[in-house]
Structure 1
Amino acid sequence: MAALKVIVASICFQGILAQSSSETTVSTAVPSPSAALDSPLPSQVPDPPTQAWCPSEIFCAGPLLQTVNVAALYSDPKTFVDKPTNKPAEDVLFDFENLTSGNVTEGQIVDFVDADFRGEGLELEALTLDNFNEDPPFLANVSDSLLRAWAQTVHGYWTQLIRTTNSSVLCSGTACESSLIPLNHTFVVPGGRFREQYYWDSFWIVEGLLESQLYDIVNDTLQNFMDELDTIGFIPNGGRIYYLNRSQPPLFIQMLFRYITVTNDTSILTRALPLAEKELDWWQENRTVNVTSPSTNKVHEMARYAVNNTAPRPESYLTDYLTANGPDVSPPLNESQRSSLYAELASGAETGWDYTSRWFSNPAAGNSDLKQLNVRNTIPVDLNSILYRNHIIMEQLYSDNETAAMKHHDKATSVREGILDLSWNSTKMGFYDFNIASGTQNHVFSAASYYPVWSGITPVEILRSAEDAFKYFAPLNLVLKRYNGTFPSTFLDTSLQWDFPNTWAPHQYIILQALRALPSHIADVTLFALSSNQSSFNLLPADQLGISESQLPSQTLLSGVNATNLGHQADINTLNGTVLNGGNTTIYEGWSQTLQRELANRYFASAFCSWHATGGEIPGILPRLSDAELNVTQSVNNTGNMFEKFSSLDIDSAGRGGEYTVQAGFGWTNGVVLWIASVYGDILATPNCPALLANTA
């Protein structure tokens, strides 16, 4: 392991500020209730049942958590549950009981939290890495000098996201209480409010760490997950006790395989294989149901997301509370309905896609009503594809154990048959989630459609010809021809963060990997459709997207002082070069290589341009934008943001919507940047970023 040096010398125990000698700063959010301090607290519905899986009377469902949240002290409910106490738990509970024995005001709750809690995240320490290689070999793959320098800058961001548990102030015993799940090894946080280790984020973080040759940090990450499997029995959503009722897309086995493939460190398997089995058993026992196919009448064992939960999520308590009990809920929900909704909200969080119309009983553009969540009745094509790939990997890892290998081979075969039977639509040439309640495929087309081919499940219809394979990827071609950004989660604009126009780094990686998985005799063919003036919508199989062309969201472009709505039919051949950043055509390029080149360049453009538009600079290479330009993005005091999500429409900005403010940091965004730099570096071209002042002149 590389030597690690703690750079946080001290913690301010009054919970005001913890600051390191580096740029990493942990600060306490200032309470800012919307009501006056002398105002009484709003009335509350009865406390929900205590949750057996959540062991705290402070940070889990109960009177204290509900009262503090109803006071609405912070814009993000996660702030409070990330604050360790500064006294024993029984003293905090005693203070709360005394406080609530009579009428309570907003100001009294503010005083209580200030007196009894420290700053959020103070249980964690930032670290520096000794012997950090500032010039890793993958940078040599990037031909463009500006993008090489920028990739090097992103590589350097790992030093700002490394954390360890702060053992000197870690709450244990009766000293104090914290929601943190202590970890024994170093880890990388996503960034922003996500100040602890997260499960599926770590897959793409690991991809970037491997390119950066930070193999010891990858090993530490895997060891942390194995510790959780050993002690908890599964890998929770994130490193807090309020995540102990749910997991996330199960990518541990794939992280393990990537680590072994790159480092050849097979010694880790002695511990890892039994624990990998334990995780698969957990998903089999807790998240698997029998589903009868309406077309073949076969019964398939398929996985779903289904969390046992009858209370608001602690980290989103007020959000869930208002979803179930807000003034717009009419008629009011009864206790059974509230409990069911809370289970759906937690299940939606377990998917990683929290939230999207993909999970709705009646999905439609403009519909963001979370009371329509139908997650537990959904058989997600991406989850089952991940599990299929896990079993394939386990089969390979058991090369010296024929019995164990055959067990995973048979399970993979079974899951593959279920995915093809329930989710593949050979007419639409796409994969769709299956609905248990209706016994039919859902009609929402999403980025999840590309998980099966990435995982190694390629239907025979895709393999018939290049033309048929292209039909499967025709939605990607449409995005690259009609929008300035990358591939959205869905094509429904609902204001939910996993719907249009938001695009996410993991999906771009999955799609690129799916394209790379095609056999050469399919992928290397030159298709006339890509270079002709045919409508990109007309190239889609009928009803593939589930919406008409007129229902497609519109790309708005800036020209001079006017914003022009280009409408739904504005393909790139009619836009006079205003949809940009596809890179430069290479000789003898097959259609798959064309789409990969365009998507890889578009992802780099989205990450780079939004970073530059928020204050990013590279001394001596890329000057900082003017204050007038940075005022447009409210970034005069910023030094460049790596956002958690982007926009299909505007590559100068982050995505939008969701339960919390768009976060910057950001682990999986950085990881995919470095992976693309390594794999596609020779075809990346300097991005053309839209002028920030074009709309304000």
Structure 2
Amino acid sequence: MRYTFSTLTFSLLLLLPFTFVIQPLRAQELYRPEQDLGELFEQVQLQHVFPDSKTFPDAVPLAPPKQILEAYQQQKNQRGFSLEAFVKEYFQMPPQPATGFTTDTSLSVTQHIERLWPILTREPGADGGSLIPLPKKYIVPGGRFREIYYWDSFFTMLGLQASGETELIQSMVDNFTHLINTTGHIPNGNRTYYLSRSQPPFYALMLRVLAQQKGREVLKTYAPALRKEYDFWMDGSEQLSAANSTHRRVVRMPDGSILNRYWDDQPEPRPESYREDVELAQESGRNPEEVYRNIRAAAESGWDFSSRWFADAQNLGTIHTTDIIPVDLNALLYHVELTLQEMSVLNGNRTEAREFERRAKARRDALLKYNWSDEADFFYDYDFVKGTTTNIPSLAAVYPLYFCMVKKKQADAVVQKLEEDFLQPGGLVTTLHRTGQQWDAPNGWAPLQWMSIQALRNYKHDKLADTIAQRWMELNEAVFQNTGKLMEKYNVTDISLQAGGGEYPNQDGFGWTNGVLLKLISLNPQLQEEVLQEVEMQE
């Protein structure tokens, strides 16, 4: 009989009211391949049984893990034993991206994306593997990414908003609320191996999208969940002191202000990249736990991986994410604090509203003090161990402009650097460093194009915003016309080449690319006409 962890239990729960479903999950009920399979998991990953290290953690056991391990111990030393054959006997491999979906390039890209939404939609429930069950429908990015991802989902929701898919937006918000209420935070994705970390805190921005569709009063409903997420990010902040200046994701700065960093509670190889992490730790010559912690913290940032996190700005082996105060993370948390302030006003709690307003102002002042470089007229991440900015330019610098945290003079200086250094034929490049990592040059990513375009519009730099939007839309459209695909990332420097770098091939599907492109088209119909004319001329 096929073994499914808690599938029946959860299926029965789904028949009950939503308020009952969100009772806390018991960790022992969840299948954790890296823990439950022990030596077997380690050997499958280190022996490179599958080309993609994510395959085995996503596979579904066909018997209880204890029974599988007993069989492995009995058979592993027998003549002719095949680890690959054993795994395929005892596990159901995760589904491949092939869905029977056929691209029709005679359709517009808008029609293509709207045909893709059902293909990328997953139904609630469990599969018996490492997937954490969710109570409602959700969108996955596509390709090897078979589960929901935290920050991806905000940008996907922008496209759902343009498509009028309000109820699907509601479902995804409710799923993230469910994760906050059952796990204490929003994990990187709904896999058990992602539980030790989160991703950039975009939940408050998701609530803004929902409020645009359903009215501002909806914010009151989600105030308790947003407060829980905020408490997760701020855990330990009240115990910090000059002698004890860090705890998990919070850092006490020399002036006593509190800022945040990325973190992960488990200094171990990532299950979904186990072999890669072990090999990197060995090659680095550093304490393996230190490497694993910083690798995982960078995965929490969503920028996995980038020169932003490297001590020498070039090599992954020098990664030191947990030493860094990221400009984007703290801008996002500033917005969380302002949203909690607004929620407090809506709920009639003026005292609490004043407190969150105070916290937001303190964070803004600290970010401007530590992350702004007067010399470069630009925002950088801050290395609090060295006591200086990292001076590694990246598009994270647009986040304070997106949230209107700066005065026009500072904004204009950031915009000037974007135009002079980051603007490329296909849009904005992520960083100015070429390291072979996917979150560096020559790659551009949909979420960062969106944040940058909106940041520019906030400060009336509409001409440059239009230029970036048009170049990005043209690149997306041209690749779609040539391949029938929308990609996870793009080479914006040489638009004749595909994007590359990182731990896996470029994926298509693709949730946040679809979302941002559809939203840009809906906001810029005239630009879209010009884009189509330009692409036709190129052909």
Q: Normalization by structure 1: what TM-score?
A: 0.67
Equivalent residue number for residue 476 of structure 1: 418
Contact kept in structure 2, 1:234 and 1:279, CA below 8 Å:
yes
Report the Cα offset of residue 125 of structure 1.
Answer: 13
Report the Cα offset of residue 417 of structure 1.
Answer: 0.8
| Counterpart Cα distance in 1 of 2:450 and 2:93 | 36
The secondary structure found in structure 1 opposite 2:63 is coil
Indicate how the Cα distance of structure 1 residues 54 and 127 shifts in structure 2: closer, same or farther if over 3 A, else same.
farther
Residue 458 of structure 2 is aligned to residue 517 of structure 1: yes
Equivalent residue number for residue 17 of structure 1: none
Equivalent residue number for residue 151 of structure 1: 110
1:110 to 84, 91, 100: 84
In structure 1, the gaps of 5 or more residues are: 1-11, 15-51, 129-145, 172-177, 293-297, 463-468, 524-591, 615-639
Residue 386 of structure 2 is aligned to residue 444 of structure 1: no
Deviations 1:552-586 (A, max 9, x none): xxxxxxxxxxxxxxxxxxxxxxxxxxxxxxxxxxx
The residue type equivalent to 2:41 in the other structure is L
Q: Taking every aligned residue pair, what percent have the same amino acid on both sides?
A: 31
The secondary structure found in structure 1 opposite 2:123 is strand
Contact kept in structure 1, 2:421 and 2:432, CA below 8 Å:
no
| Counterpart Cα distance in 2 of 1:241 and 1:323 | 23
| Counterpart Cα distance in 2 of 1:239 and 1:90 | 23
Q: How does 1:56-71 map to 2 (within 5 A)?
A: 56=31, 58-60=33-35, 62-71=38-47
Residue 228 of structure 2 is aligned to residue 384 of structure 1: no
Equivalent residue number for residue 93 of structure 1: 69
Contact kept in structure 2, 1:613 and 1:653, CA below 8 Å:
no
The residue type equivalent to 1:610 in the other structure is V
Residue 401 of structure 2 is aligned to residue 453 of structure 1: yes
Report the Cα offset of residue 501 of structure 1.
Answer: 0.3
The residue type equivalent to 2:297 in the other structure is S
Contact kept in structure 1, 2:379 and 2:414, CA below 8 Å:
no
Tell me the C-alpha RMSD between the 2 structures: 2.9
Equivalent residue number for residue 310 of structure 1: 267
2:372 to 424, 432, 437: 424
| Counterpart Cα distance in 1 of 2:372 and 2:163 | 37
The secondary structure found in structure 1 opposite 2:472 is helix
| Counterpart Cα distance in 2 of 1:471 and 1:57 | 48
The secondary structure found in structure 1 opposite 2:143 is coil
| Counterpart Cα distance in 2 of 1:415 and 1:434 | 14
Report the Cα offset of residue 612 of structure 1.
Answer: 1.6
Deviations 1:601-633 (A, max 9, x none): 01101111111221xxxxxxxxxxxxxxxxxxx
The residue type equivalent to 2:252 in the other structure is N
The secondary structure found in structure 1 opposite 2:252 is strand
Contact kept in structure 2, 1:126 and 1:160, CA below 8 Å:
yes
Higher helix share: 2
Equivalent residue number for residue 123 of structure 2: 164
Q: How does 1:302-451 map to 2 (within 5 A)?
A: 302-325=259-282, 329=283, 337-363=287-313, 367=314, 369-399=315-345, 400-451=348-399
Equivalent residue number for residue 644 of structure 1: 488
Q: How does 1:126-275 map to 2 (within 5 A)?
A: 149-165=108-124, 170-171=127-128, 178-264=129-215, 266-267=217-218, 269-270=220-221, 272-275=222-225
The secondary structure found in structure 1 opposite 2:444 is strand
Larger Rg, first or second structure (1 or 2): 1
2:50 to 74, 87, 91: 74
Deviations 1:436-463 (A, max 9, x none): 110001110100010001012113633x
Equivalent residue number for residue 10 of structure 2: none
Indicate how the Cα distance of structure 1 residues 126 and 185 shifts in structure 2: closer, same or farther if over 3 A, else same.
farther
Indicate how the Cα distance of structure 1 residues 388 and 427 shifts in structure 2: closer, same or farther if over 3 A, else same.
same
| Counterpart Cα distance in 1 of 2:98 and 2:215 | 31
| Counterpart Cα distance in 2 of 1:478 and 1:246 | 36
The residue type equivalent to 2:467 in the other structure is E
Residue 249 of structure 2 is aligned to residue 287 of structure 1: yes
The residue type equivalent to 2:140 in the other structure is V
Contact kept in structure 2, 1:606 and 1:651, CA below 8 Å:
yes
In structure 2, the gaps of 5 or more residues are: 4-26, 236-247
| Counterpart Cα distance in 2 of 1:299 and 1:350 | 25
| Counterpart Cα distance in 2 of 1:372 and 1:53 | 35
Deviations 1:470-509 (A, max 9, x none): 432123323576x321111101011100000011001110
**Which stretches of structure 1, 4 residues or longer, exceed 4 Å deviation after superposition?**
52-57, 124-128, 689-693
Contact kept in structure 2, 1:57 and 1:64, CA below 8 Å:
no
The secondary structure found in structure 2 opposite 1:196 is coil
Contact kept in structure 1, 2:422 and 2:431, CA below 8 Å:
no
Task: Point out the more displaced range, 55-64 or 402-411.
Answer: 55-64
The secondary structure found in structure 2 opposite 1:302 is strand
